[in-house]
C-alpha cells in the first residue's frame, strides 16, 4: 500500500459537508444577495414597494438554486 493510497483512505474518513451546511450557506448568502438586489431595485425604480417585491421573489428562487448548485458540486467532488 503506497502513500497515496493511505492518504486517500484517510481523506475518505473526513466528514463531507451535508445538506444542513449547504442550506445554511444558501440562506446566509441570500441575505447578502437580497439586500444587494433590494438596493439596486430601489435605485432603478425609485419605488420601495417594487424593490421589496423584486427582492422577496429573488430571495426564495435563489436559495433553491444555490442549494441545488452546491449539492451538484458536492456530488462531483465525491465522485472524483
For the record, the C-alpha cell of 11 comes out as 481523506
Residue where the block lists cell 484517510: 10
pLDDT in tens, 28-41: 887 898 999 999 99
Q: How far apart are CA 44 and CA 55, in angstroms?
A: 13
Domain ranges, ordered by start, for the chain = 17-79
- The mean per-residue pLDDT over the stretch 10-29 comes to 72
According to the model, what pLDDT value does residue 4 have?
Answer: 58
Identify which of 31, 14, 22 has the alpha carbon closest to the alpha carbon of residue 73: 22
CA 57 to chain centre: 17
pTM above 0.95, yes or no: no
Phi then psi dihedrals of residue 14, to 5 deg: -70, 135
Whether the predicted pLDDT of 50 surpasses 70:
yes
Q: How far apart are CA 43 and CA 19, in angstroms?
A: 36
Amino acid at each position: 500500500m503506497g502513500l497515496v493510497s493511505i492518504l486517500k483512505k484517510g481523506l475518505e474518513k473526513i466528514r463531507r459537508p451535508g445538506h444542513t451546511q449547504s442550506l445554511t450557506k444558501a440562506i446566509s448568502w441570500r441575505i447578502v444577495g437580497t439586500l444587494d438586489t433590494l438596493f439596486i431595485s430601489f435605485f432603478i425604480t425609485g419605488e420601495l414597494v417594487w424593490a421589496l417585491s423584486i427582492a422577496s421573489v429573488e430571495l426564495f428562487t435563489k436559495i433553491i438554486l444555490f442549494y441545488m448548485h452546491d449539492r451538484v458540486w458536492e456530488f462531483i467532488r465525491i465522485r472524483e
